[in-house]
Chains A and B, each alone.
Chain A
Amino acid sequence: MATELGPTPVKPASGAPAVHHGPKGVGEDNRILSQGKWASWLLAPTIIALGVVIVYPIISAIVMSFQKDAGLDPATGLFTAGGPAGIQNYVNWLGQQCAAPGGGTVACPPGTLGGQFWSATGTTFLFTVITVALETVLGFWMAMIMARSFKGRGLVRAAVLVPWAIPTAVTAQLWLFMFDFNGIINKVFSASILWTGSEWPAKWAVIIADTWKTTPFMALLILAGLQMIPAEVYEASKVDGASAWQRFRLITLPLVKPALMVAILFRTLDALRMFDLPYILTGGANNTTTLSILVINQIRQGFNSAAALSTITFLIIFLVAFIFVRFLGANVVEQSGATGKGKK
């Protein structure tokens, strides 16, 4: 699983080979060897716990996904046993095929879960791209404001934590109330939109609520990145006559890029698994069903088929993370792990 984070910068120096007995010092090697022993004892509980609660379910889901769902055969009305299904569950989801009466498969009729795979994938990516883009732009802007020194800055920095601290379930109900036909949003904008009643208003309702809830997290991550930029760099560039736009493009952006990429990666992976907000706000109606909602709806109609869908979802997220790390330079481990006093 760690491979999803790409080329992990395992520097030889940080884990000096314990068997090496060069002239440089046996003592140093023994020290690292004993530290390694210590480390494995200290890490064991975490690794075991994560193995039990994450690795075991994953493997179990993959095994399940290659099994048939036991159930009543729609054609014969007889109970069919499970048994190996090969890749049939995956083929069914990707091809939007459902079991046909009398064996074989047909295209899933509209409205069934099996026929929603590609629309759910599309919705998930649409939500992800729009919310992350909005959050990045708004978050960057908020971070730039919060990085300035002005009276009341502390108040602003505290205020941005409020949306973050409200549980998503409460956020969803709050926005459902505000998006009500008689609600405050229609009143303030003198609109009469049935927000959760048709496709695009429903999608925008989810996007707006999600952006409200998660922009603060983005802003705080970017702010932390901005604060790592030494003030002298800006002063020097001012002396050299750089305009505000030049300072932003040539200094702020490149220097804040590592933190920004990590923030975007975190948010993207989070948005791809979006569940609570659309589930409560729209119930997945009007084409707001995300992949996570589809998995949940499928569970009670067949574990094994749901396991195949959740594995597909996992692979999609894994792939996106891989692309981020490999091609867009979001080096999470380097960012969070490479610096610090513990490193030699």
Chain B
Amino acid sequence: MTTATASSSVGAGQGTASRASQSREQWASVRTYISAAVILIWCLAPAYWMVVTAFRQVGFTYDTTPWPTHVTLDNFLTAFDTSFGNRFGQALLNSIIIGVTVTVISLIIGVFAAYALARLNFRFKYLVLGFILGASMFPGVALITPLFQLFTNIGWMGTYQALIIPNISFVLPLTVYTLTSFFREMPWELEESARVDGCTQGQAFRKVIMPLAAPAIFTTAILAFISSWNEFLIASQLSNEATQPVTVAIASFAGAQPNQIPYTAIMAAGTIVTIPLVILVLVFQRKIVAGLTAGAVK
């Protein structure tokens, strides 16, 4: 798949290159396409291999034919099969519950902070920004030990709240600084004019700014959800069989034989977990990239 796309774009590139252009420029453009093809293969080949394996019969797990062979849907059924102790379906549901809750809470809290940081002048602004950025780079293991003890003592081990609350510490800083960068770019003149027309600052925020900010908030929500969806460290320690999210379920996937890793089923589970994210990311590609890089360059 990757090579086909890449080589067709090489062909297209050569076709559009003007014959009059210097050979050096042509050579440079050929090199660009070769590099682009290398990037495409490097990024997509492993993901492609996951999908191909997910659709391959168990007996042909190690088949190296580069295109789909021995196609089957059995692996997806195996992934959801609970007879070997896997609870992938429940884990999917858990990940959605945790991800949505964390995203909603982080957005509700973070949107106010981001507005203040992007729009208002106040003392200690840089201190607050520094604190939030520092929080986002914080190592998860520094939180896990006291939380492990605390949650054991109060009987929260394995509960949803024990997974949601620590997750907020990772997702909220990301939410605040992504939103802050988006908010800086918005047409705030409209807020000024709303205020001239007699709105209070709160009304101006609600009636003018919120609708304008919706795309930024939506993008940030995707980033927040992905971040929560990918979380493994906290969940691997604080969840139990009933509440574990997909990352933990996939990491400890058991097969029929204890000494054999059920790779095809794992790849099927991985495909299920990944495909919705990849589609989401590709559809909102521009916004996502803007959000990802927002904290760093603007």
Instruction: Mark A residues whose CB is within 8 Å of B.
Output: 1-5, 8-10, 14-16, 18, 32, 35-36, 38-43, 45-47, 49-50, 52-54, 56-58, 60-61, 64, 141-142, 145-146, 148, 150-153, 155-170, 172-178, 180, 182-184, 187-188, 212, 216-217, 220-221, 223-225, 228, 258-259, 262-263, 266, 269-270, 272-273, 275-276, 279-280, 291-292, 295-296, 299, 303, 306-307, 310-311, 313-314, 317, 321, 332-333, 335-344
Contacts and interface: CB of A to CB of B under 8 A. Distances in A.
A341 B190 CA distance: 14
B149 A303 contact: yes
> Nearest 6 A-B pairs (CB), nearest first?
A15-B123, A2-B130, A152-B9, A340-B184, A53-B169, A169-B247
Contacts of A15: 121-125
Given A4-B130, A225-B297, A313-B139, 8 more contacts: A151-B12, A183-B62, A220-B289, A223-B293, A292-B139, A295-B145, A303-B146, A339-B184
B168 interface: yes
Interface in B44-74: 44, 46-47, 49-50, 53, 62, 64
B32 A5 contact: no
Contact of A57 (B122, B147, B176, B297): B147
B233 A177 contact: no
Contact of B285 (A158, A183, A212, A317): A158
B43 to A, nearest CB: 5
A215 to B, nearest CB: 8
Given A1-B135, A336-B129, A220 B142 contact: no
Size category of the binding interface on chain B: 35 or more
B266 to A, nearest CB: 5
Contact of A173 (B112, B142, B188, B251): B251
A174 B50 CA distance: 6
B232 A165 contact: no
A174 B233 contact: no
B247 A273 contact: no
The main secondary structure of chain A at its interface with chain B is helix
Contacts of B40: 155-156, 159
Contact of B274 (A14, A170, A341, A342): A170
A41 B184 CA distance: 20
A155 B134 CA distance: 34
A29 to B, nearest CB: 11
Interface in B133-167: 133-135, 137-150, 165-166
A232 B141 CA distance: 47
B125 to A, nearest CB: 6
A221 B145 contact: no
